[in-house]
Amino acid sequence: MTLLSRTRRLLLASAVAGLPALTAQAQGTNVRFQLDWRFEGPSALFLTPAAKGYFRNENLNVTIDAGNGSGATISRISSGTYDMGFADMAALMEFYGNNPTAPNKPVAVMMVYNNTPAAVLALKKSGIKTPADLTGKRMGAPVFDGGRKSWPVFTKANSVGSVTWTSMDPPLRETMLVRGDIDAITGFSFTSLLNLEARGVKPEDIVIFPYAQHGVRFYGNAIVASETFLKNNPEAVRAFLRAFARGAKDVVADPKAAIAFVKQRDGIINEALEERRLRLALDGVVLTSDAKAEGFGNVTAPRLALMASQVSDAFGTKERVNPDAVWNGEFLPPAADRNVFAVPRK
């Protein structure tokens, strides 16, 4: 056998020996992830690490689907349709309180919206200047809206009397306010504000009462994972959060560039509008003073316990919510890797 032949055989044997490892690495761990809503500006927080290969670098095969509300996302994770997702903490607590024996309940593993995006919005022409002015007014929101469900907490903190509620589908909420069918609405601040502007209302003609600035210190949306996925794939969860934290820094550094990845998933979005929505979300619920004090991604036990108690009362859950059951911070990356506040912003 010639030297060339022996060399070829050695190379072939080496390549074959390495195939199983390469195949396993290529396969990775599949993660089925569902957002809370459509592909809009804030979804860039997840689409950026996906598009840049950060999940893939962690040996994860992540598929990201749009959602249609936190409640639906939580139910689909519990049923096993999805492994992980993005959902409102109040909705998660409500699920725990009303389904205490349900198997495979989602668990929050990283806080993203440190403050709830819930807000009351009204038009200045209504004469509403303070939360107390809402007493006796006609309020509107879908029955499942988080701000509406937590309304008792807002009213207690702001001495608001009784109101009359009108229910509608989400697309009609801002339209009915503009038409004068109702006096005020509850909704996510960065969603309803832009929806009102899209209906011809000038920003200076809108009154906004963010819950977080008016005595309601609820946490907002968190990354959640099913109990089964946490048990069977703990390292995959850690890897997912590492990749997400890396991508979040990129989004904070350059929101405009991040919107390009949202455009890849939904080609008909208005990029300028979604960039503004993303910046509103970052400033309003992500890069907040609470998040800086607690550490991006983390929570504090007293605040979480207070929220669990308030949700139990306001939502009228079947059982009291146990805050220790809904949260597990053991999978978080180190604080330095989550420090989005140290990133220069454009």
Quick one: tokens of 94?
């409500």
Interval 39-61: pLDDT, tens:
999 999 999 999 999 999 999 99
- In one letter, which amino acid is 321? V
How does DSSP assign 131-189, residue by residue? GGGGTT-EEE--TT-HHHHTHHHHHHHHT----EEE---GGGHHHHHHHTS-SEEEEEH
Which residues, 6+ apart, have CB-to-CB distance to 279 below 8 Å?
A: 41, 255
| Start-end of CATH 3.40.190.10 domains in the chain | 28-114+219-342, 118-213
CATH code of the region 28-114+219-342? 3.40.190.10
Please provide the distance, in angstroms rounded to a whole number, between the alpha carbons at the two ends of the chain: 64
Q: What is the largest CA-CA distance in the chain?
A: 96
> Which residues on adjacent β-strands are paired with residue 30?
61
Cα–Cα distance for residue pair 229/245, rounded to 1 Å: 20
CA angle (171 as vertex; 166, 176 as ends), nearest 5: 45
Fold held by 118-213: D-Maltodextrin-Binding Protein; domain 2 (3.40.190)
> Would strands 206-210 and 118-123 be described as parallel, antiparallel, or unpaired?
antiparallel
Interval 64-85: pLDDT, tens:
999 999 999 999 999 999 999 9
Interval 215-272: pLDDT, tens:
999 999 999 999 999 999 999 999 999 999 999 999 999 999 999 999 999 999 999 9
Q: What is the pLDDT of residue 7?
A: 42
Phi-psi region of 285 (alpha: psi -120 to 50; beta: other; left: phi over 0): alpha
CA distances from 164 to 56, 139, 251 (A): 50, 6, 40
Whole-angstrom Cα Rg for the chain: 23
Q: What is the pLDDT of residue 311?
A: 97
Output helix, strand, coil percentages for the chain, rounded to the nearest 5.
Answer: 55, 15, 30
Structure pTM? Answer: 0.90
Interval 261-318: pLDDT, tens:
999 999 999 999 999 999 999 999 999 999 999 999 999 999 999 999 999 999 999 9
